[in-house]
Amino acid sequence: MNKDLQTDHQSDPLELLQTASELAESERWEDVLSFCEKVLETDQGIDLAAYLAGIACAKLKRPNEAVRYLTAVISVDEHDASRLSILISLLHDIGKTADAIPYLERHIELSPNIDNLNQLAAIYARNGRLSEAINTFRKSLRLAPENNVASAGLYPLLRITCDWGDALDTLSKQIDTLNKNAISRGEMAPEPPFDNVHRCEDEKMNFAIAHSWSQSLINSVGDVPAFTRTSKSKKTDVIKIGYLSADFHDHATAHLMRGVFQAHDKGGFQVFAYSYGPNDRSDYRSDIRAACSEFVDITKLTDQEAATRIFNDKIDILVDLKGYTRRNRLAICAMRPAPIQVTYLGYPGTSGASFFDYAVTDATVTPVDSHKYYQENLVILQNSYQCNDNRQEVPIKPLNNNLNNFDFIFCSFNNPIKIEKSFFEIWLNIISSIPNSCLWLLKNNDAAEYNLRKFANKFGMEKRLVFSEMLPRQQHLRRVAYADLALDTRYYNGHTTTSDALWAGVPVVTLEGRHFASRVSASLLRAMGLPELITSTTNEYKTRIIELATNTKKRETIQKKN
């Protein structure tokens, strides 16, 4: 505490509190905190002192302490909307969004506006409370039908729960209009790029939406001083490569990337992993850590602090493995901490961003006609862009899945958000034409299973659906090997899902689409020398599947090539 603040009234809590309030007006937050802590040692003015201490800690970028003080205040008085709002914001900043739910619910009781409803719905969704998220977005839309945040938020929730009612088509058209209007005004599109590529094959629109989001990122970091190297690396220097991801654990990205880390030439390269995901103590995480020169946990660093760390490590090439997928930290890349920045693997499409110099692709996912829709320079790999761990264990004996009652097993272990109505109807028609066959699906959420069964019941096929829980990777690969034929999804193919089936020796039939996300399975199949599993129309897709299901010899020939 500053000496000029020492007074004869230090023992009087109310006068200490008055001084703290005056100091807050001049933003002397360290002194505010000191005075408030003295007040909190007494039994007077505790409520206001805790509130001011919380604000001071927030201003001093000590959010965990701020949350502790403000939680104590709100436990006494839940009727102050402004204090609730501050606490909710702080909990969001420190990644404790689930803890914010009861405070947001209370805030909405006090102030039921669309911003609060949209925020609560998004947090419900993030924490797997899908029905509550859907209902809250719908409530928001009833209050404001032109509410673009709620429209864009509701659509993927209806998709992941396979709720294919009229609302889905209406929302899709509404979102298209909202996207176009926002882009024409030079604003960020309301629909996230990752959601857009799940439903839209128009590469021009995919690019426009991604570009609008990248511009928003650039604007958000505009006040951050530019990172400038004072000297260039010499040709004789070891090249430093940094990989940025939240997925260095038992996750699809790590399943694919582990072998890449292990295969790096340690003589010519230093490999850094910048991780902001959970430490699950899995073999994937430990193997990647062991393969790196440095494994840096940046979970607790701000975006600017993380970018500064990358810059200070003198990374030559920074490779982002998330793109616009969930839990990305593209703001780090937007600050340009490395002279060369690359987007790879996680996001199937262009970043639309000037802060990425290169995207790693192949000739199938990005044919020549698609190049004009990419901001980045394209590094075209010879076979498939998708890396795979060629040292991973190949299933020898299938895992018994109690499906012996069926003569033929079709499977699709894709996330239900990838399943769309017209394709699912094709699948049902296929299993109805193959006696005693079943369609084996992944159990992701109860609502999706209920809706898929309900839809199948219209075709008399409900009993032909089999749902299975998630399993650890090696058990899952053994399970997949029990299937006879894998059916690919349309607008967003199986990516790791397709490579898993192929590793397990199960043929995958795909319909090659018109953008990156819908061409990934075709990329993998061409790389394996299995172009006969790639189709170009829905009729051909259906015919090829039935042909393979009824022609054992042909299917076995393909399996031998696999």
What are the pLDDT digits (tens) for 60-83?
988 889 899 988 888 767 778 888
What's the mean pLDDT in 522-546?
98
Residue 317 pLDDT greater than 60, yes or no? yes
48 assigned to some structural domain: yes
Whether residue 209 sits in one domain with residue 294? no
Whole-angstrom distance, CA of residue 401 vs CA of residue 311: 50
As for how many domains the chain has, the answer is: 4
DSSP string for 195-254: HHHHH---HHHHHHHHHHHHHHHHHHTTTSPPP--SSPPPTTSPEEEEEEES--SSSHHH
433 assigned to some structural domain: yes
User: 276 vs 234, 243, 323, 328, CA distance in Å?
Assistant: 31, 11, 14, 9
Report pLDDT digits (tens) over 208-227. Answer: 999 999 999 999 998 888 89
Compare 111 and 485 and report the one with higher pLDDT: 485
Residue 394 pLDDT greater than 90, yes or no? no
386 assigned to some structural domain: no
pLDDT at site 236: 67
Domain range holding 46? 13-143
Give residue 231's pLDDT band: very low, low, confident or very high (50, 70, 90). low
Whole-angstrom distance, CA of residue 440 vs CA of residue 465: 6
Residue 233 pLDDT greater than 70, yes or no? no
φ, ψ for residue 304, nearest 5 deg = -65, -40
Here the tokens at position 391 are 């040292």
Q: Secondary structure of 79-120 in the HEC alphabet?
A: CCHHHHHHHHHHHHHCCCHHHHHHHHHHHHHHCCCHHHHHHH
Q: Which percentage of the chain shows pLDDT scores above 90? A: 80
Whether residue 417 sits in one domain with residue 288? no
Q: List for the chain the helix, strand, coil content (%; round to 5).
A: 50, 10, 35
Here the tokens at position 189 are 């599109």
Which amino acid, one-letter code, is at 227? F
Here the tokens at position 204 are 């021009």
Whether residue 346 sits in one domain with residue 309? yes
Which amino acid, one-letter code, is at 336? R
Strand order, beta sheet including 465-468: 465-468, 437-442, 408-412, 485-487, 508-511, 534-535
113 assigned to some structural domain: yes
Whether residue 486 sits in one domain with residue 534? yes
The separation between the first and the last C-alpha atoms of the chain, rounded to the nearest angstrom, is: 72
Whether residue 519 sits in one domain with residue 500? yes
Q: Is the dihedral of CA 383, 389, 390, 393 positive or negative?
A: negative
Whole-angstrom distance, CA of residue 153 vs CA of residue 192: 9
Whether residue 165 sits in one domain with residue 128? no
Report pLDDT digits (tens) over 35-48. Answer: 999 999 888 778 88
Q: Could you give the maximum distance between any two Cα atoms of the chain, in Å?
A: 97
399 assigned to some structural domain: no
Q: CATH number for the domain including 46? A: 1.25.40.10
226 assigned to some structural domain: no
Q: Is the dihedral of CA 415, 418, 423, 425 positive or negative?
A: positive
pLDDT at site 186: 97
Residue 305 pLDDT greater than 60, yes or no? yes
pLDDT at site 527: 98
Whether residue 431 sits in one domain with residue 311? no
pTM over 0.85: yes
Whether residue 247 sits in one domain with residue 342? yes
Whether residue 121 sits in one domain with residue 164? no
Whole-angstrom distance, CA of residue 515 vs CA of residue 364: 10
Q: CATH number for the domain including 460? A: 3.40.50.2000
